[in-house]
Amino acid sequence: SAVISQKPSRDICQRGTSLTIQCQVDSQVTMMFWYRQQPGQSLTLIATANQGSEATYESGFVIDKFPISRPNLTFSTLTVSNMSPEDSSIYLCSVGGTSGSHEQFFGPGTRLTVL
């Protein structure tokens, strides 16, 4: 299994500002995933972060709005830039299981409120 921590756990931000969310994993993983989950909604994949290469963004998400860093195999950051109230959501970091495991593990999430 993988233990994932995220910082901050929650934040309240002003419109137009940016917030960087950190994700730390207790083991080395190739791919890390960033999801958004709006209240009562499903998980939406924002991007896949690979160490040593540019993140791969899903349709509807762009690097200028959600820049991602992946400096090593245990850490990643997601920045939510120029925030608006529509960005209020829970942001989740996730990693796949070890080889042979199909399970995907999730961090505790960052609850973001934009005023």
For other proteins, the binding residues (CB under 8 A) are 40-45, 92, 102-109, 111
Closest approach of Cβ 35 to other proteins, in Å? 8
In the complex with other proteins, the residue whose CB is nearer, 2 or 80, is: 2
User: 102 burial class (0-12, 13-18, 19+ CB within 10 angstroms)?
Assistant: exposed
In the complex with other proteins, the residue whose CB is nearer, 26 or 103, is: 103
**DSSP 3-state assignment of 85?**
helix
Closest approach of Cβ 92 to other proteins, in Å? 6
Closest approach of Cβ 49 to other proteins, in Å? 14
